[in-house]
Amino acid sequence: MGSVVISLDAELGWGFHDLERPPLERVESGRRGWRRMLDLCAEFDVPATWAVVGHLMLESCDGVHADHPTLDGWFDRERGEWADREDLRFAPDLVRGVVDSDVDHEFASHSFSHVLFGRPETDREIARAELERSLEVADEWGESVDSFVYPRNDVGHRDVLAEYGISAYRGRSPTYDGVRGLVDSTVRSRSMLVQPTVDEYGLIDVPASLFLFGFEGPVRTVAESIWEDPMVVQARRGIDQAVRNDGLFHMWLHPNNLTRERDDRRMRAILSYLDRRRTETDLAVETMGDVAERLAVARGIDGGTVAADGGPETKTADDD
């Protein structure tokens, strides 16, 4: 059985608060895109893994977080330039839309304040604080966390994830974004399927296959004017590969990527096609947590006895 996973990095302003020049259009589009993705997932009954920055679940804070180990100046924008922008710092209303949805979404963690785990300056104390605080807030909401998505896909401190009971994380994609990725998949017919693996800490690595907004700007406009949306083409190709090869195709995005109506049309086209292929075949739509649970059972955990079969091998960039 082939399967498709969709994961979203739900972060609002926290995805950009450490940048000198945050991309204003995306900063201001976070709430719009979040609601639009909830609506589209509901329309097509597509469950997704929503990786939420824990701070968004708070109703308020002092902006100082004195008891939270972090880098010097990490919360400066929150208590300075964005002190009066609660809409960028808090979002219990949007998070409630995820956990109360009729669609069986997975609630996952995207850290507490979008710290980059793979950076040398992010020591173990900071990593533990980020994970511990996000899990505390989730517990206050009555939510458990099985999956973790690293901010900016900067993988690090996997041992900390294991220590705190996380089961799965989104690993780096073996394929390229943008024009290179389009050429690889359409001209070279390179597979976009990925194989979940178990790392040395017992965590399930569920690699990304395709970032759905990796082909933007003028090149996207030109491509759409003479052809069609290249990302829709790639997404359809990946979905079809999952159907034919019984493999896993993992798409991801940020809600703030949906800045305009044409972005809405892209996601509608992808989810509509996914829903159609699911109806026509035995294709499954899973969350990262579903994949981890399936693989755990296959490894003999919780009563499983058979060997894991993660689907066909996927070439890495170094193979070309």
Contacts of 19 by beta carbon, 8 Å cutoff, 6+ apart: none
**What confidence tens digit (pLDDT) does each residue in 38-78 have?**
999 999 999 999 999 999 999 999 999 999 999 999 999 99
State the amino acid at position 171 in one-letter form: G
Q: Please report which confidence band the pLDDT of residue 176 belongs to, taking 50, 70 and 90 as the band edges.
A: low
| Signed CA dihedral, 105, 254, 167, 313: sign only | positive
Q: Where is pLDDT greater, at 264 or 317?
A: 264
Q: Where is pLDDT greater, at 122 or 247?
A: 122
Dist CA 286 CA 106 (whole Å): 9
The secondary structure of residue 245, as a DSSP letter, is H
**What confidence tens digit (pLDDT) does each residue in 73-130 have?**
999 999 999 999 999 999 999 999 999 999 999 999 999 999 999 999 999 999 999 9
Q: Please report which confidence band the pLDDT of residue 185 belongs to, taking 50, 70 and 90 as the band edges.
A: low
**What confidence tens digit (pLDDT) does each residue in 294-307 have?**
988 766 554 333 33
- What integer is the mean pLDDT of 17-29? 96
Q: State what percent of residues in the chain have pLDDT above 90.
A: 80
Contact 172, 141 (CB under 8 A): no
Contact 40, 64 (CB under 8 A): no
Q: Please report which confidence band the pLDDT of residue 173 belongs to, taking 50, 70 and 90 as the band edges.
A: confident
Supply the pLDDT for residue 318: 36
**What confidence tens digit (pLDDT) does each residue in 207-239 have?**
999 999 987 667 767 767 667 888 999 999 999
Q: What pTM was computed for the model? A: 0.90
